[in-house]
Amino acid sequence: MEPHRHARVPDLSQRRALVTGAAGFIGAYVVDGLAAAGYNVAALDAFDDTVYAASLKRQRAERLRQEHGVETLTLDLADVGAVVDLLDSAKPDVVIHLGALANPRRSVSAPRAYVESNIVATSNLLDAMRTAGVGKLVFASSSTVYGADRTFPWREDLPCDRPLAPYAATKRSAELLCHAYHVIAGLDVCVLRFFSAYGPWGRPDMMPMIVTRALFDGETFTLFDGGAPKRDFTYVGDIAAGVVSAAERVCGFETINLGRGEPIAMIDFVRTLESIVGKPALFDTKPLPPSEAPITYADIARARALLGYNPTVTLEDGLARLVDWYRAHGE
């Protein structure tokens, strides 16, 4: 691991944000949005390679350096003292906590790592914020906290006590920790539940990139239940815009979905990619794992009302952008 380096003394005339998981898929887009909005950004990432190769994260971090002059510091949230020092140095108005281990299916075989990364690390960050006197947090949660609830669309006030995988359980647990610190430390907290992000620079372990790569390489991939499951696929730039809006608008304690509100069958997702790439998909089929819901479907009325959230990128446009990026970077 690279040695920890303190962020430079910030320009206190600017709004200041600290982003964990800044070199992640969504994190890098959030840094883009914050920089465009005029924030001074302190970016950090553990550059963990548990879920996928850290080399892609380093490429994203290099892009952020070149485009915005933002240096991404290497920091593990297990080092509470270093986190407090960084908060004291960066003096952020808001912390945006995106750092986590993702992928529900993978969490089934490695639950302890997910507990450490998603619960313990969040607890460490919350305690460091209390110690450093930082008063506002935007926390990245997940649509997986809804389990397999069949009450559609999923509203934020639905019960979230039946997780299907350890990953979902850790995200829900972290949400509850955030509420506890809202009560005991007076933190303003906005919990954001993300739905199926896709787009350029995407994670290689997730379906959109797996299918894109397979189409270009002529390889076979697995489509669960013949592609019948539905996901509320949401373009990553739209989600990032919602995160930036949350950093600017929300106080108190809020829980808000960030999706598109349009579930799409996986087979339709694949057929759309086929038409854009111009090659046929080769896939086999297996039963959907019990760790995954058959349908995800966001109610985004709350996001529209509180954040002015308005996802504008259609599936066709978003996938065209993904394919263009893959042609330039992935082949």
Assess whether 114 carries a catalytic annotation.
Answer: no
Q: Which residues contact 55 (CB under 8 A, 6 or more apart)?
A: none
Q: Which of 167, 181, 235, 297 is catalytic?
A: 167
Partners of 44 in the beta sheet?
20, 73
DSSP 168-229: HHHHHHHHHHHHHHHHHH--EEEEEEE--EESTT--TTSHHHHHHHHHHHT-EEEEEGGG--
Q: Please report the beta strands in the chain, taking only residues with DSSP state E, as ranges in sequence order.
A: 16-20, 40-45, 72-74, 94-97, 136-142, 188-194, 197-198, 220-224, 230-231, 234-235, 253-258, 264-265, 282-286
Residues identified as active-site:
167
